[in-house]
Amino acid sequence: MKKILLYSMMMAGLFTASCDLDINEDPDYPSSSDVTPDLVFPSVEVGLATAIGSDIYNCTGYFSQYFEQNPSGSQYDKLTYYRFLESDDIINYPYRFMFAGALPDAAYVIQNSTSASDRFAATVLRAYIFQVAVDLFDKIPYSEATQGQNIQSPKWDNGEDVYKGVLNELDEAEADLGTNPDNLVSQDLIFDRNINEWIGFANALRLRMYLRLHDAGVDAATYETKIKSLVDADNFMTADAAVKGWANEVNKRNPWIEVNMNLNGQNQCMAFPFTSYLQATNDPRIAYGIVPASNPVYGQYAGQIPGGKAQMPNALGANNWKAEHVSAADYGVATTQPVYFFTLAELSFLKAEVYHRFYSDDAKAKAAYEEGVRTDFTARGIGNADTFLAGAAVNWDSNADKMYLIGMQKWVALYYMDHMEAWSEIRRTDIPKMSSAKAEDVFDEYFENDGTVSGYQAGDLISPWTNDMGSGTYVNRIPYPLSAAQYNPNTPDSPAITEKVWWDKN
C-alpha cells in the first residue's frame, strides 16, 4: 500500500509540473537528508513511464498504423497527415520528461546510492531512456548530458555512439555487482527489487540494441557473436518490464488514458492496415482494445484509411462516414494498463528471429515464434492460441517467409503494449512493408466495391492519403524539440521526418 501511495503522489506531481522543467538544469532537489537515492529511484520509473506511456505511446501508435483520428474529432489530425512541428507538445513533453526528469534522477541514484544493485538498475533505466531517445530523434545529448550547471549547453552525439556508450555503461555497472548481488534497496515499481530480473532486462535491452547495430552494418560479425551469446545463455527477465499499479481514478490512471480523458473525447479509431490483417488471419485478439463499430455499415471492425479522415466523407458522401461506422480504441482496457518497456512476447519474437537468421534452426525458431504468440494471448486474457497458430495464415510450417510471420505477429503483439518498439521494429525490419497501392485506390475498392482489394496485402502499411510530406512517404523520425533549441544553441537543425535514423538501413 505504501508503494502504491508513493507512486500515485508522484504521478500527480509529474502531470502538473512537467511543463515548467528546464531540460538543461538538474531538478531542484531538496537539501534534506530525507531525500535519499532509494526514494528518488521510483521517480525515475514513474517519469519514464509518463514519457513513454503518454505522448510517445500515442504518436507511435499512429506511426505504426494501429490508430487513426476518429472521424468525429480532430485532436491528432497532424499525426495522421505528417503535419507536426518542433513546437508540438507531442515532441516537447516526452523530451522534457526524459532529459529534465528521468535522466537527472537516474544520475542522482547512480552517483549517490551505496547499493550496487540500485546503481545497476538505475543504469539499466538510463540505457533504456537513451535507446528510446536515439530511436526517436537519432542524435541526442549524451556525453555531456545531465551535467547541470557544469555544462548548460551539451553537445548532441551521434546515435551510434550513444548506443555503444550506454552498452559500455551496462557492462561496467554489471561488473560492479559482483557474483552474488543483493536485491535492490529502493522501492521498485517494475520488478519489486529483484536484481535477477533487472539483469534479465539488461540482457533484453542488449539484444534489442545489438540487432540494430548488426543490421546497421556496424561491426556485424562482432555483434552477431554477441547476439548468439545472449540467446545461448538465455538469461532474460521472466516477467514483462513494465510499470504497473494504475487505478481508475483521476491522476492515477495509465498516462495515455490520463491525457486523453483530459481532452474529453475519443480521438483514436483503428487504422485499416491493422484491422485488415487481424481479420485476414482470423485473429481473436481483434476483440481486445478495439470497440466494434456501433453502426457497422462497413463491417463490425472497420478501420480508417491512413490520412483519410478528411477524404473519406467527401468520397463516400458527407453522411456516410461517421464515428459510428468505425472501430474505436477501447479506453476501458487501457485505463489501468501497465506501461511496458519490454514485453516477454517481444523477447520471444526477437529470439525467433535470431534462431532463424543466425542459426537456421527451424525447430527453435518455430518454438520461440509460437511462444511469442501464446505469451501475448495470455497477457490479454485470450484463450485458444494453439487453434489460432494452426490457421493457414499464421502457421509456421505452412508459410515460407518466416521473417514475415515473426514480424507481423510481433506487430500485433505490440499493439496496446509497446507502440514505440512497434514503430522501431517496423523501421528496422520493414515488416509490415509499405504497400505500393495508393490510399485512395485501397479506399475505392474496399469501401465502394465488394470489400476486396487487388494489389494490397492485408496488413501492409499505407502512405497517408493526405500527406504533407508527399505521396508515398512514411515518418521515420520525429523532429528535434523546439524546447531543446531554445535552451541549447548546440541543438542541430532537424532533418525531414522522412529521413531515416542511423540504424535504419532497409
pLDDT at 117 over 90: yes
Rounded to an integer, what distance in angstroms lies between the CA atom of residue 269 and that of residue 267? 7
Q: How many domains does the chain have?
A: 1
Q: Write the CB contacts of 94 (distance below 8 Å, at least 6 apart in sequence).
A: 51, 52, 54, 55, 56, 136
pLDDT at 89 over 80: no
- Residue 32 falls within a domain, yes or no? yes
Residue 192 DSSP one-character state: T
Q: In this predicted structure, what is the pLDDT of residue 318?
A: 61
- Residue 225 falls within a domain, yes or no? yes
Q: In this predicted structure, what is the pLDDT of residue 12?
A: 38
pLDDT at 3 over 50: no
- Residue 451 falls within a domain, yes or no? no
E-state strands within 319-455? 328-329, 339-342
Span 64-75, mean pLDDT?
93
Provide the b/e sequence for 400-439 (b: ≥16 CB within 10 Å): eebebbbbbbbbbbbbbbbbbbbbbbbbbbebbbebebbb
- Residue 373 falls within a domain, yes or no? no
**Higher-confidence position of 207 and 314:** 207
Give the pLDDT confidence of 395-428 residue by residue, as tens digits: 999 999 999 999 999 999 999 999 999 999 999 9
Which of 54-58, 402-406, 453-457 has the least mean pLDDT? Answer: 453-457
Q: In this predicted structure, what is the pLDDT of residue 26?
A: 46
From residue 49, alpha-carbon distances to 53, 418, 470 in Å are: 5, 11, 34
Banded pLDDT at 322 (limits 50, 70, 90): confident
- Residue 443 falls within a domain, yes or no? no
- Residue 27 falls within a domain, yes or no? yes
pTM of model > 0.95: no
pLDDT at 263 over 90: no
Span 436-456, mean pLDDT?
81
- Residue 170 falls within a domain, yes or no? yes
Q: In this predicted structure, what is the pLDDT of residue 34?
A: 65
Domain with 154 in it: 1-271+479-506
Q: What is the CA radius of gyration of the chain?
A: 22
- Residue 123 falls within a domain, yes or no? yes
CB 260 within 8 A of CB 267: yes
Give the pLDDT confidence of 32-54 residue by residue, as tens digits: 456 799 999 999 999 999 999 99
> Greatest CA separation found in the chain?
70
Report the chain's mean pLDDT, rounded to a whole number: 90
Give the pLDDT confidence of 324-349 residue by residue, as tens digits: 989 999 999 999 999 999 999 999 99
Q: In this predicted structure, what is the pLDDT of residue 315?
A: 77
Rounded to an integer, what distance in angstroms lies between the CA atom of residue 492 and that of residue 481? 10
Q: In this predicted structure, what is the pLDDT of residue 314?
A: 76
Banded pLDDT at 435 (limits 50, 70, 90): very high
Percent of the chain with pLDDT over 90: 74
Q: What single string gives the DSSP state of each residue in 258-273?
A: HHHHHTTS--EEEBHH
Which of 215-219, 230-234, 295-299, 402-406 has the least mean pLDDT? Answer: 295-299
Instruction: Look at residues 247, 206, 463, 488 and name the one whose alpha carbon lies nearest to residue 354.
Output: 206
Give the pLDDT confidence of 159-215 residue by residue, as tens digits: 999 999 999 999 999 999 999 999 999 999 999 999 999 999 999 999 999 999 999
CATH of the domain at 108: 1.25.40.390
Span 252-274, mean pLDDT?
89
